[in-house]
């Protein structure tokens, strides 16, 4: 029995290798991409978490602020607690580098205390003098930072503080820093002085005495600080769940969405396996019936077809696991672990093979193959041998697969699931809805094909009644399509799955890109934008420098922005706080408002506008009161409205800059929006700004340049999505080619019969081209409708539930038209090529099996 089953399997593969290779390739690509994305993100997340924990060393408890900095007065109170053996103060600065480079993380540490908690953070002086760690300009770089800055011991590195430049000396290295971790360490007093942070700390690491219950101490300290300093401090542990959640939440939605998009190819592979196995079963229907007559039991036949499908899955899954590991290794080596999104910048992870994930993705590959061949296997097993031995019984068998109620049920359930809320912040029901839409749409294709082609055949027949010469090619083609809708449905499965998914992904990406482009145009109303030519938290414009910009020749008006970050929840990333000049009567000029504003009943409270992401994440609605940590206290703000922000997925709040200055005393600015005098040119205004004493440090850009840069960043972030979309198109083209080729070759006897009754070779090729074009055209039309429905779920369900923002629908007609034309041409050419091969044997040889 095993020999017979093996012979049947290998014989089928030898007879139709292209069809098998196409199905295996689809599964391979799906498994490889999904497994690679998992390995990349797992490696990046683990390395990022390890790098964060390495900065805390052996600290038992950490005290941080809801604001980036807090007064160092709290340090003495913490250090004097009887449970604490060592308290290590830390100042963390994102130091700005001139020339627009990314900032460098600089830690200010007390070398006498950090040695008890994080000895790996003590620099090794190149001079060999231990006292060099206390130098007022001494800086110790990690190997990755040294390589990035091309700096060696004794070199001086320039940093920006405000618009001024300071130079720090590379006194040595951090020999135990993690690979790829860009980091610098210096004495905490020197860091406070050099970077203008006198009397400020970022956190205090506590080492507890032996025997102290860490959890009980943390809870007691949190209650005490919350009582004495409401909303000012966070008390946690370096390796607690909140820290892990914060790191994970930054990229979870991005990781999950990439993984789901990677499985698009795998999902398409399931339908290609179905098409492959269904056509194979129909072609061998009489052979299976003969085996049944000779004693081959039904369960053996069921197992045979399932084994054939599983073999495709096993081959594809094994190749996918190997390919996924190779892709992950190459991606981590050359592109890093953030996949273009910037979540894990500054780490250099190495790929680690994870057996559990490999087993999961292997099971997915085999599972979709078994799922794809389940219906053909069941039909082959339940077919009556006497009926199956007769020629022409294919449509009777396929009719069982074309029942409409399962498809309609799938579509109805998909509609219900699309209305359900997310699960743990992920659009689980949205993904299930998309899967059910695909299954329901493809299951309904035989009915759609039957209705369409019967209608077309009836209209054609009515139109030809008055003619004496009836064209043979369209008449025969429409007659066959009208009476063989089951086979047409199978042929359309691959077209529909690949094209609909491609349409959905293309519409989603285009909608997002165009929405981002329109948003940029709305939020950049000024003629010019100026900022210090450096990223990070130490560069900025003082009030005197702001006044100089206002008074510069050609500048009619200037508005300034101050950007900070604050913590609103211990288990979530910080939210951005934007303080900018806002016209109270027309706030829509400063932001893109979503919905209506709410009138403020209590005029005593300052106003705030929250982004869509913040409103969704923190359940904030217009009219609510929002406490924001400012100047060491929680200040209540009236939420006046919600605005659209595509730049910050963790949320942002915008307040009036006058309120910010009044509450904090911080009058510095990060950015400037400039309107020009009438008749003044952007070039003249830029030159005038550059002539200011600090003009050399300014980066001045027109809105068009910022827009172009933003769209380049968008395209880089979605590079993986574009790749997945291209792969879906290629798989769809190969699937169409394999399906039409297999169907055409299986109809050799039909073509032989047509040749016997006088149909010419050219007419048969015309029938095949007409049929391929008609089937693909119907698949494209139906696929567009199905893809449009899926794109609605992606745009209005998956994206808002994943990233907490909304967008408008936009359609990339040139791309959709190009892919549709390619599918149409590919199907017609494939049908012609396969038809030539099917007609090459002569009409007598083609029909000899019927004698």
3-state helix, strand, coil in the chain (%, to 5): 60, 15, 25
Sign of torsion, CA 379 383 388 389?
A: positive
Residue 294 counted as domain residue:
yes
Q: How far apart are CA 656 and CA 761, in angstroms?
A: 79
Residues 199 and 80 in one domain: yes
The pLDDT of residue 851 is 38
Q: Convert 136-155 into a string of H (helix), E (strand) and C (coil).
A: CCEEEECHHHHHHHCCCCCC
Chain centre to alpha carbon of residue 672: 32
Residues 74 and 46 in one domain: no
Chain centre to alpha carbon of residue 72: 41
The pLDDT of residue 561 is 94
Residues 553 and 463 in one domain: no
What would the pLDDT profile of 165-216 be if each residue is shown by its tens digit?
999 999 999 988 887 788 999 999 999 999 999 999 999 999 999 989 999 9
Angle formed by the axes of helices 241-283 and 285-293, nearest 10°: 80
Range from 58-67, 248-257, 668-677 carrying the lowest mean pLDDT: 248-257
Query: Which residue would you say has higher pLDDT here, 540 or 208?
Result: 208
Contact by Cβ (8 Å): 722, 509 = yes
What would the pLDDT profile of 332-387 be if each residue is shown by its tens digit?
777 665 555 555 555 567 788 889 989 998 998 888 888 877 777 777 677 666 55
Residue 335 counted as domain residue:
yes
Give the β-pairing of 652-656 and 607-611: antiparallel
Residues 367 and 412 in one domain: no
Q: How far apart are CA 717 and CA 659, in angstroms?
A: 35
Among 208, 237, 266, where does a domain finish?
237
Residue % of the chain over a pLDDT of 70: 81
Residues 747 and 798 in one domain: yes
Residues 513 and 537 in one domain: no
CA-to-CA dists, residue 24 to 31, 309, 316, 547, 734, angstroms = 11, 10, 5, 67, 12
Bridge partners for 492 per DSSP: none
CB within 8 A of 333, min separation 6: which ones? none
pTM: 0.82
Residues 762 and 619 in one domain: no
Neighbour tally for 42: CB within 10 Å: 18
Nearest residue to 677 via CA among 566, 555, 579: 555
The pLDDT-based confidence of 788 (bands split at 50, 70, 90) is very high
The pLDDT-based confidence of 629 (bands split at 50, 70, 90) is very high
Half-sphere exposure of 789 (CA within 13 A, CB side): 19
Nearest residue to 138 via CA among 70, 184, 69: 184
CB within 8 A of 837, min separation 6: which ones? 744, 745
Q: How far apart are CA 625 and CA 643, in angstroms?
A: 16
Contact by Cβ (8 Å): 837, 748 = no
Among 701, 724, 739, where does a domain finish?
701
Half-sphere exposure of 624 (CA within 13 A, CB side): 14
Q: Convert 252-306 into a string of H (helix), E (strand) and C (coil).
A: HHHHHHHHHHHHHHHHHHHHHHHHHHHHHHHHCHHHHHHHHHCCCCHHHHHHHHH
Residues 99 and 184 in one domain: yes
Residue 242 counted as domain residue:
no
Residue 444 counted as domain residue:
yes
- pLDDT, mean over the chain: 83
Q: How far apart are CA 259 and CA 364, in angstroms?
A: 13
Backbone angles phi, psi at 495, to 5 degrees: -60, -45
Q: List the Cα angle 368/370/375 in 5-degree steps.
A: 110
Residues 647 and 679 in one domain: yes
CB within 8 A of 96, min separation 6: which ones? 103, 159, 160, 161, 532, 534, 535, 536, 537, 538, 539
Chain centre to alpha carbon of residue 526: 32
Residues 211 and 271 in one domain: no
Exposed/middle/buried for residue 761 (C-beta within 10 Å: 0-12, 13-18, 19+): middle
- H or E stretch at 578: strand 575-580
Q: How many domains does the chain have?
A: 4
Among 670, 701, 732, where does a domain finish?
701
Residue 243 counted as domain residue:
no
The pLDDT-based confidence of 131 (bands split at 50, 70, 90) is confident
Rg of the chain, C-alpha, whole Å: 34
Query: Which residue would you say has higher pLDDT here, 577 or 572?
Result: 577
What would the pLDDT profile of 657-705 be if each residue is shown by its tens digit?
999 999 999 999 989 999 999 989 999 999 999 999 999 889 999 999 9
* Residue 826 pLDDT greater than 70, yes or no: yes
Residues 260 and 231 in one domain: no
The pLDDT-based confidence of 762 (bands split at 50, 70, 90) is confident
Chain centre to alpha carbon of residue 851: 59
Residues 138 and 225 in one domain: yes
Residue 695 counted as domain residue:
yes
What would the pLDDT profile of 230-244 be if each residue is shown by its tens digit?
889 999 887 654 454
Residue 317 counted as domain residue:
yes
* Residue 649 pLDDT greater than 70, yes or no: yes
By residue range, what is the domain housing residue 173? 57-237
The pLDDT of residue 387 is 59
Q: Reduced to 3 states, what is the DSSP secondary structure of residue 348?
A: coil
């Amino acid at each position: 029995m095993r020999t017979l089953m093996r012979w049947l399997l290998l014989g089928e593969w030898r007879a139709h290798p292209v069809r098998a290779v196409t199905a295996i390739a689809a599964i391979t690509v799906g498994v490889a991409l999904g497994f690679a994305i998992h390995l990349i993100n797992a490696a990046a997340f683990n390395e990022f978490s390890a790098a964060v924990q390495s900065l805390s060393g052996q600290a038992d408890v950490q005290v941080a602020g809801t604001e980036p900095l807090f007064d160092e007065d709290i340090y003495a109170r913490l250090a004097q607690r009887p449970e604490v053996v060592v308290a290590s103060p830390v100042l963390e600065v994102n130091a700005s580098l001139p020339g627009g480079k990314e900032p460098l993380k600089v830690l200010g540490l007390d070398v006498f205390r950090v040695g008890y908690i994080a000895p790996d953070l003590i620099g090794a002086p190149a001079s060999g003098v231990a006292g060099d760690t206390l130098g007022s300009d001494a800086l110790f770089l990690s190997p990755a930072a040294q390589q990035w800055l091309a700096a060696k011991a004794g070199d001086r590195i320039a940093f920006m503080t405000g618009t001024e430049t300071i130079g720090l000396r590379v006194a040595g290295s951090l020999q135990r820093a993690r690979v790829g971790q860009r980091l610098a360490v210096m004495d905490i007093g020197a860091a406070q002085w050099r970077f203008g942070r006198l009397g400020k700390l970022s956190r205090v690491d506590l080492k507890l005495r032996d025997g102290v219950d860490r959890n009980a101490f943390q809870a007691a300290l949190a209650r005490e600080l919350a009582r004495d300093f409401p909303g000012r401090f966070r008390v946690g542990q370096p390796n607690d769940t909140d820290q892990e959640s914060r790191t994970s939440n930054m990229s979870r939605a991005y990781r999950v969405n990439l993984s789901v998009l990677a499985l698009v190819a795998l999902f398409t592979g399931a339908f290609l396996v179905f098409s492959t196995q269904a056509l194979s079963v129909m072609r061998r229907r009489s052979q299976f019936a003969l085996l049944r007559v000779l004693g081959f039991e039904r369960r053996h036949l069921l197992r045979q077809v399932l084994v054939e499908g599983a073999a495709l899955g096993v081959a594809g899954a094994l190749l996918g696991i190997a390919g996924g590991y190779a892709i992950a290794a190459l991606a981590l080596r050359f592109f890093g672990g953030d996949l273009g999104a910037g979540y894990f910048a500054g780490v250099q992870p190495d790929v680690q093979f994870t057996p559990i994930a490999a087993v999961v993705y292997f099971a997915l590959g085999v599972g979709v193959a078994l799922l794809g061949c389940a219906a053909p296997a069941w039909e082959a097993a339940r077919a009556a041998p006497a009926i199956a031995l007769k020629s022409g019984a294919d449509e009777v068998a396929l009719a069982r697969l074309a029942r409409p109620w399962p498809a309609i049920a799938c579509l109805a359930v998909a509609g219900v699931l699309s209305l359900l809320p997310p699960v743990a912040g992920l659009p689980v029901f949205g993904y299930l809805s998309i899967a059910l839409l695909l299954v329901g749409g493809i299951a309904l294709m035989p009915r759609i094909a039957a209705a369409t082609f019967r209608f077309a055949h009836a209209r054609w027949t009515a139109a030809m009644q008055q003619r004496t010469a009836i064209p043979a090619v369209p008449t025969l083609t429409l007659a066959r399509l009208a009476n063989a809708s089951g086979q047409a449905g199978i042929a359309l499965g691959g077209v529909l799955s690949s094209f609909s998914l491609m349409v959905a992904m293309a519409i989603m990406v285009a909608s997002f890109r165009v929405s981002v482009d329109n948003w940029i145009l709305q939020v950049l109303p000024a003629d010019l934008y100026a900022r210090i030519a450096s990223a990070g938290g130490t560069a900025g414009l003082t009030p005197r420098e702001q006044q100089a910009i206002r008074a510069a020749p050609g500048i009619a008006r200037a508005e300034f922005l101050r950007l900070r970050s604050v913590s609103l929840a211990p288990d979530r990333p910080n939210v951005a706080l934007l303080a900018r000049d806002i016209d109270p009567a027309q706030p829509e000029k400063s932001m893109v408002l979503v919905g209506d504003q709410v009138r403020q009943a209590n005029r005593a409270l300052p106003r705030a506008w929250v982004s869509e992401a913040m409103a969704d994440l923190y359940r904030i609605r217009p009219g609510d009161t929002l406490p924001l940590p400012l100047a060491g206290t929680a200040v209540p703000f009236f939420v006046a409205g919600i605005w659209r922000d595509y730049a910050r997925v963790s949320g942002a709040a915008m307040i009036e800059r006058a309120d910010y200055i009044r509450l904090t005393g911080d009058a510095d600015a990060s950015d400037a929006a400039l309107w020009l005098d009438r008749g003044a040119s952007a070039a003249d205004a830029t030159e005038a700004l550059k002539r200011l004493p600090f003009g050399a440090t300014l980066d001045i850009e027109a809105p068009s340049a910022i827009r172009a840069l933003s769209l380049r960043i968008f395209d880089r972030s979605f590079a993986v999505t574009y790749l997945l979309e291209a792969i879906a198109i290629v798989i769809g083209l190969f699937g169409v080619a394999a399906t039409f080729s297999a169907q055409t070759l299986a109809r050799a006897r039909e073509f032989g019969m047509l040749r016997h009754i006088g149909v010419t070779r050219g007419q048969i090729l015309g029938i095949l081209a007409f049929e391929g074009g008609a089937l693909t055209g119907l698949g494209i039309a139906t696929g567009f409708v199905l893809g449009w429905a899926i794109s609605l779920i992606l745009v209005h369900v998956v994206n808002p539930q994943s990233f907490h923002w909304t967008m408008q629908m936009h359609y990339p007609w040139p791309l959709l038209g190009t892919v549709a034309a390619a599918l149409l041409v590919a199907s017609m050419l494939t049908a012609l090529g396969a038809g030539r091969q099917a007609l090459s044997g002569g009409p007598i040889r083609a029909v000899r099996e019927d004698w």
